Amino acid sequence: MKTLRSGNDGAALSDKILRQLASICGTDEVRTNPDLALYEREVLDSIKTVEFIVAIEEEFGLYVSPAELDRQMWATPRKIIVDIEHRLNS
């Protein structure tokens, strides 16, 4: 797994993740409501999840297999940030 490059702090990383998520979901609500239920509110679906995975790989060089992804781990913007930060720092 790829590690964070020096100079990336948590806030900058969160901003990048949320920018990508907002772009894929088509709403800035993911930036303003960290506990937004993405799948329950149908802001994120299977196709958008794959698009987001591709965007994360392009932005951070981090590969997330759709087969190993648990929707509960990505149920909210906050959970997505925590999961991606964890993967990048592993």
Q: Which residues of 72-83 are buried (b: 16+ CB within 10 A; e: fewer)?
A: eebbbbebbbeb
Domain with residue 69: its CATH number is 1.10.1200.10
Q: Could you list the residue range(s) of the whole structural domain that residue 28 is in?
A: 10-89
Domain count, the chain: 1
The pLDDT value given to residue 11: 85
5 in any annotated domain: no
Question: Is 42 strand, coil or helix?
Answer: coil
> What does DSSP assign to residue 27?
-
Instruction: From first to last of the 90 residues of the chain, give the pLDDT tens digit.
Output: 333 333 446 789 999 999 999 999 999 999 999 999 999 999 999 999 999 999 999 999 999 998 888 899 999 999 999 999 999 998
